[in-house]
């Protein structure tokens, strides 16, 4: 992880998922709204099926990777050399 917010969100989502600590508690201890929102997105809800949660996260990851992929104008073109 490249930044403090990402690291905090990654570490704190299990706290909210597995304890009585809430998103409002994160705000109360001074976590930024960016961290709280990321934790909310990463946290499986109490009534959410685990496998549905994992599949949803996989779909989000695929979309994010696609949206950050270089465009064709920046992708180098490789051609077979004529020997």
Please say if the pLDDT value at position 81 is more than 60: no
Please give the pLDDT value at position 70. 64
Check residue 31 and give its pLDDT. 95
At residue 11, does pLDDT exceed 80?
Answer: yes
Average pLDDT, the chain: 80
The per-residue pLDDT for range 41-57, each reduced to its tens digit, is 888 888 888 888 888 87
The contacts of residue 9 (CB under 8 Å, 6+ apart) are 35, 38, 39, 42
């Amino acid at each position: 992880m490249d930044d403090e917010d990402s690291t905090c969100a990654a570490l704190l989502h299990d706290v909210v998922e597995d304890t009585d600590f809430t998103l409002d508690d994160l705000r109360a201890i001074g976590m930024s709204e960016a961290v709280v929102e990321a934790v909310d997105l990463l946290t499986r809800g109490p009534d959410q099926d685990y496998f549905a949660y994992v599949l949803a996260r996989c779909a989000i990851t695929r979309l994010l990777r696609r949206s950050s992929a270089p465009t064709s104008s920046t992708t180098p073109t490789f051609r077979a050399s004529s020997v």
